[in-house]
Amino acid sequence: MTDASSDRPATEVVALKGSNASGMRAHNERLVLSLVRGEGALAKSDIARMTGLSAQTVSVIMRQLEQDGLLVRGEPVRGRIGQPSVPMSLNPDGAFFLGLKIGRRSADLSLVDFLGRARAMRRKVYRYPTPDTVVAFVREALPEVAAAVSADGRARIGGLGVAMPFQLWSWVEFIGAPQAEMDAWRTRDIQAELAEATGLPVHVQNDATSACRAELVFGTGDRPRDFLYFYFGTFIGGGLVLNGQLHLGRTGNAAGVGPMPVPGPDGRMQRLLSVASMSALADQIEAGGESADILWEKPDHWPFRQEVLSVWIDRAAAGLAWASLSAATLIELEAVLIDGWMPASVRAELARRTHEHYHRLDLAGVGPLAIREGTIGPLARSLGAAAIPLSHRYLIDQNA
C-alpha cells in the first residue's frame, strides 16, 4: 500500500480520466481502485474531482466495490458545512494473490493480500532450478500457504503470478548447472503446468521486471513517474517505469540491464552483471576462503568481513553509476532506484556510493537524476509476481 502524499503534483492523478458511459463500469471500477491504492483513503467527492466522473457515477461505483468487499469505510470527517465525508480505503481481505519467484538459487511461494502484505511464504533452496523441482515445490507448498487465510479468503485468491529469469538455459556456465537439465526450460510450458497444479490463472514475467512492479504497486513514499530500477539477485536485472507505467518492451524484457557495458576496475569495458551482482560477491567471498551459501539463504544478515563487502559495494556502485548515466542520456529519467536480495544496511550504502560515483562523472547536458533506495527489499520478486494478477484484475493502464 502506498502512502498518501500531500505534495504530489495534481498532474499525476488527472491523467486518470473516467467515463460516465454505462458500458465502462469495469474501467471506472479499476480507476477508483487505482486512485485509492495510490493516494490512500479517499471520499467520493475526492474521486469525482480527480476523475471528472459525476457524483452519482462515483457513488454507484463505490457502493458496488464496498459490497464486493474491496473497499471499506473509514470514520466520517466532518467539515464546517454540509454532510460529513466518508473516506474509503482498500480492504486487506478483499482479494488475495499468489506470487512465485523462481530464482537461480531458490524459489519462494507467497500469499499476498490486497495491500501487498505477505500473509504466508514458503521457500525452497536448490543448487539450480528445474521445471520438475519448481512444479513439485508449488504442489507441496500451496496447501500450507493457502491455509493462512479462511475459506472465504481462499475463494478470493485471484491468480498466480510467476517471476522468473528468461532463458534460464543460457546461464548454465554462471550457476554450474548441467546443460541437459536446464535445457528442459526450452520445451516445458511452465505456465500451463502451474495452471494445472493450482487451478488458477497464471501470468509469467521476467523476475527483475516483477520486482519493479512491486515497487510501482506496493512501494511506499513518493515515487517518480519516470525511473530506472535495479534489482540485485544472483545477477542484476532491472525495470523501467515511464509516465507512471511499467514498460515491458516488445518481448517483456525491457531494462534487462545485466549486459549493459560499463568500465570495470581495470578500466576495460565489461557487462554490468560482472561487477554488480551477488554472484560477483559470492566469487570474492569464496576466493577469501569463506562459504557464500548464506547469501542465498539469509538476505537480512550477511556476516562477512567488512573489507570484502566494501570492495564489492564500491565496484557495484561504480558500475551502477555508469549504467545510470547511459540510461539518463537516452531517457529523461527522474530517478534511479536500487533494491535487492540484501540487508537494508548494504542497500543504503550501495545507493549512497552510487550517488557519489555518479556525481564524479561528466554530467554536462544530462538532467538532474536522483539515486535512492527501493522500498520493498528481498521479497520484491515474489510480491511483484503476486502484483501481476492483481494489476490485470484491479488496476488500470494509466497510458490507456
Kindly indicate the confidence band of residue 25, based on its pLDDT and cuts at 50, 70 and 90. low
| pLDDT given at position 173 | 76
Q: Model's pTM, two decimal places?
A: 0.88
Q: Is the pLDDT of residue 269 over 80?
A: yes
Same fold, 96-206+382-394 and 222-374: yes
The CATH number of the structural domain formed by 96-206+382-394 is 3.30.420.40
Q: Parallel, antiparallel, or unpaired: how do β-strands 106-113 and 118-125 relate?
A: antiparallel
Kindly indicate the confidence band of residue 78, based on its pLDDT and cuts at 50, 70 and 90. confident
d(CA 311, CA 328): 26
Please state which of the ranges 22-31, 356-365, 386-395 shows the lowest mean pLDDT. Answer: 22-31
Q: Is the pLDDT of residue 4 over 80?
A: no
Residue-wise pLDDT for 187-237, tens only, equals 999 999 999 999 999 999 999 999 999 999 999 988 899 999 999 998 999
Per-residue HEC secondary structure of the chain comes to CCCCCCCCCCHHHHCCCCCCCHHHHHHHHHHHHHHHHHHCCECHHHHHHHHCCCHHHHHHHHHHHHHCCCEEECCCECCCCCCCECCEEECCCCCEEEEEEECCCEEEEEEEECCCCEEEEEEEECCCCCHHHHHHHHHHHHHHHHCCCCHHHHHCEEEEEEEECCCHHHHHHHHCCCHHHHCHHHHCCHHHHHHHHHCCCEEEEEHHHHHHHHHHHHCCCCCCCCEEEEEECCCEEEEEEECCEEECCCCCCCCCCCCCEEECCCCCEEEHHHHCCHHHHHHHHHHCCCCCCHHHHCCCCCCCCHHHHHHHHHHHHHHHHHHHHHHHHHCCCCEEEEEECCCHHHHHHHHHHHHHHHCCCCCCCCCCCEEEECCCCCCHHHHHHHHHHHHHHHCCCCCC
Kindly indicate the confidence band of residue 8, based on its pLDDT and cuts at 50, 70 and 90. very low
- CA distances to 168, 249, 357, 367 from 239, rounded to whole Å, are 18, 10, 21, 20
Interior angle at CA 241, CA 122 and CA 18, nearest 5: 100
Mean pLDDT of the 342-357 span: 97
- CA distances to 267, 323, 367 from 363, rounded to whole Å, are 19, 13, 8
Residue-wise pLDDT for 370-381, tens only, equals 999 999 999 999
In the chain, what are the domain boundaries?
11-90, 96-206+382-394, 222-374
Q: Is the pLDDT of residue 400 over 50?
A: no
What is the architecture, at CATH level 2, of domain 11-90? Orthogonal Bundle (1.10)
The CATH number of the structural domain formed by 222-374 is 3.30.420.40
d(CA 375, CA 214): 9
- CA distances to 65, 93, 176, 342, 363 from 289, rounded to whole Å, are 58, 48, 19, 21, 40
